[in-house]
Amino acid sequence: MLSRRIVIVLLIVAIIAAGSIAGYLYIFQRAPASSKDNILVGFTLAQSGPLSAQGTEQLRAYQICIDNINRQGGINVPNLGRRLPIKPIYYDDSSDPAKARSLYEKLISEDRVDFLWPPFGTGIGLGIVPIVNKHGVPIILATQTIATEERIKNVSPNIYLTFMTFEHVGAMYAAVIRKIVLDHPELRRIAIIYAETDSTVGWATWTERVLREWGVGEIVYKASYPLTATDIRGLLQRMADAKPDIVLALTFGADSYVVIPQMRELNINPRVLIMTGPGASTRDFYLRFDNATREGIIYWTNMYPEMDPVLKSFWNEYVNRYGYAPVPDMHGLVYKSCLIFKSAIEKAGSLDYKKVKEVLDKESFEIPFGPFSRVRFVNQTIDPPFLVWLQYQGGEARPIFITYGRYPDIRFLDVPYLAPYIYPKPVWR
């Protein structure tokens, strides 16, 4: 039998040993910040399903931006006393918002990423907001948009848009139409057709509203169609019967390959045809239609390589890797979100969510976007918002306008690389 004193001593030793082991395990499992060797960012992208083409393009944009940052030594994190490279971890969300939501939870809870980056598209992007709110992670959205700035406050305090809300997009459409109408007063009759997606419905609604507010032209026809529609000849014929001078065709992707061929088949030739970035800026759009079909079509995007030498280098790197030009609409937004992310961490001096969010709420950021190189977030949306308007001319997409500002104050920027716009759009034969 052991004496009572010996038993007590042994118990004390055991308790001390257990505490030491537990402390060791805690340290081993939760490595101190000073031992970090990268910043782990997690995201999902559609690698399958109907959004897989867009998901692949966004992934490529992420990779180019990450490689650019890492070649410069990574992101400077002052409280760690060093620069850290970005290490991505990502999954295929199969174009499914529910799957994306569960994968974002996995990224936080199991993969233990430091930060989240957004997926492709508004539907999936807003679908992960419950996870963002649950964990209090600030996230800089790229290819997402929301109806109005007022609504953002009700959705989440943790999201920041590098694109703009519906109201500003609609006002920019209206500003471009007003400018063309002022140049050509014979233009009066306007038709708006649009796919039934959150974004295109919002853009159509706000464009109509602002045109009416400004007293620009007369809207003689407005109609929508399902995104998956394969035959809209009836709608197009009714539009043609209204005899519009200007057609605003708010397509969102594959529906462009229904709208344009069927307009051409029906010999519908408006003097001005304006589309969207997602609808007319893709490689598929460029390859699907010949120069004669594309000629004169106007659409918008979120960057142009001549805006800044860094953007030009990103553009050239993409061409060298993949053999063709990137989708400037998407890539511009992704580069913005990636580069603001880097700047926000460096300004915060830390990987702490609260400190990074405070910087996003209060600071401005320098990014390589030429005349729009100094940006900030106002009401959680990028300021200043801008769009580069391109027109297909002689087989190339050439910039013709740059609009910027917030509804209702939309302005035009004059820069040397803008080309005169073609008017009227050449007739399809």
Q: Residue 98 CB: number of other CB atoms within 10 A?
A: 11
The CATH number assigned to the domain holding 93 equals 3.40.50.2300
Same structural domain, 161 and 175: no
What confidence score (pLDDT) does residue 376 get?
98
Residues composing the chain: 429
**What is the C-alpha to C-alpha distance for residues 266 and 369, in angstroms, rounded to an integer?**
41
Same structural domain, 54 and 151: yes
What confidence score (pLDDT) does residue 153 get?
82
What confidence score (pLDDT) does residue 9 get?
43
Same structural domain, 400 and 280: yes
Residue 3 lies in a domain: no
Relative to beta strand 86-92, strand 115-116 is unpaired
Q: What is the DSSP string of 5-58?
A: HHHHHHHHHHHHHHHHHHHHHHHHHS--GGG---EEEEEEE-SSSTTHHHHHHH
What confidence score (pLDDT) does residue 2 get?
45
Tell the residue number behind the tokens 């001078």, with chain if given: 245
**What is the C-alpha to C-alpha distance for residues 297 and 243, in angstroms, rounded to an integer?**
18
What confidence score (pLDDT) does residue 429 get?
81
Residue 399 lies in a domain: yes
Same structural domain, 173 and 257: yes
Same structural domain, 267 and 185: yes
Which stretches of the chain score pLDDT less than 50?
1-2, 4, 7-31
Same structural domain, 279 and 319: no
What confidence score (pLDDT) does residue 34 get?
59
The answer for residues whose C-beta is within 8 angstroms of residue 68's C-beta and 6 or more apart is 310, 313, 314, 317
What confidence score (pLDDT) does residue 53 get?
82
* Residue (of 231, 228, 220, 168) closest to 195 by Cα position: 228
What is the Cα Rg of the chain in Å? 26
Domains identified in the chain, total number: 2
Give Cα separations from 24 to 17, 30, 32, 33, 154 (angstroms): 10, 10, 12, 16, 43
Domain span at residue 99?
A: 35-165+307-383
Same structural domain, 252 and 399: yes
What confidence score (pLDDT) does residue 51 get?
84
